[in-house]
Amino acid sequence: MADHQLPDPVVQTTGAHELARDLVVIPNRRVDLVPNIGVIGGDHSVLVVETGLGPGNAEEVLAFASEYAKGRRLYLTTTHFHPEHAFGAQTFAGEATYLLNSAQAADLAAKGPGYLGMFRGLGAPVARQLEGVELVTPDLVYDNAYELDLGGRVVQMRATGRAHTRGDQVITVPDVDILFTGDLVETGQFAIFPWFPPYDVDVSGLGWIEVMRRLVATDPEVVVPGHGDISGPQILADVLDYLELLRDETWVRRDSAMNEETIVAEVKALMIERHPEWTGQDWIEKGVDSFCAEHPS
Ligand SMILES: [Zn+2]
């Protein structure tokens, strides 16, 4: 797609709205490479979830969060290392404590520079937002789970294990039953498989299915996806169903020794037939390619 057809990947804080008491989401307005961003408040601290793409977007988010915090201490976390979620963290240095799961910190260190180059190749509007990006290391790192006390509100942060990336993290706000999933869940679009051999083959559809089974079981009232509209718990089941169907339809063809090109064509047609309203159809074939490389454990 040519540059001019894509809206600039710009976070617009004017669209921010309160989803629950002292919890605001800056919605992505379905703009590509803009994530849903959360600002979660407690008595003495405020947690920001996601930075937006690059330092310019992050400045907007930080300005919004600082005004919202009204002197409360700021924390920052990101759901995974992908550029529109995490490549504005430098802007928060000295202003917020950057807290991450260790697998995500490792992803950022190992693959951050490669993704910076890859994303700069996505066109001028994206490259512009990535000018001056410096990849930073987190201030605090945890391994599996962390409870962040914001004062009168405890937020649960959990590393899910390998799925959309090696270092996915979900964030739960138990008192209002809200789950932030990052790119484990999108609404209105096909699941994003960042399958870019030989540079990145870390996405695991099988791991992702296991993660989704666990998330479905937690049955949250509200789900804030990585991209797309805020949703109820049904979206978790929808994503799980899609991933399982993608796996099954891919494997039944692979196991009958069909060539990969035909597998992609047939499975893609099936999935579009199933979800004609979903965008991001190109991600289906990356999902098929990824599942072709995985085997039952
Ligand atoms: Zn992602």
pLDDT digits (tens, 9 = 90+) for 48-77: 999 999 999 999 999 999 999 999 999 999
Q: Are strands 17-20 and 23-26 parallel, antiparallel or unpaired?
A: antiparallel
Separation CA 149–CA 152 (nearest Å)? 7
Q: Is the pLDDT of residue 127 over 90?
A: yes
Look at residue 1 in the predicted model and tell me its pLDDT: 42
C-alpha 63 – ligand 1 centre gap (Å): 24
Nearby residues for ligand 1 (ion, Cβ within 5 Å) = 82, 183
State what percent of residues in the chain have pLDDT above 90: 96
pTM > 0.75: yes
Look at residue 160 in the predicted model and tell me its pLDDT: 98
Look at residue 3 in the predicted model and tell me its pLDDT: 44
- Under 8 Å between Cβ of 88 and 96: no
C-alpha 44 – ligand 1 centre gap (Å): 30
Query: 3-state DSSP call for residue 36?
Result: coil
Q: Is the pLDDT of residue 189 over 90?
A: yes
- The predicted-structure confidence for 227-264, as pLDDT tens digits, reads as follows 999 999 999 999 999 999 999 999 999 999 899 999 99
Helix segments in 32-161, DSSP class H: 54-69, 83-86, 102-120, 124-129
Which residues, in sequence order, are CB contacts of 194 under 8 Å at separation 6+? 82, 164, 165, 200, 202, 203, 286
C-alpha 191 – ligand 1 centre gap (Å): 10
Separation CA 90–CA 24 (nearest Å)? 22
Alpha-carbon Rg for the chain, nearest whole angstrom, is 19
C-alpha 202 – ligand 1 centre gap (Å): 12
Q: Is the pLDDT of residue 4 over 80?
A: no
Length of the chain: 297
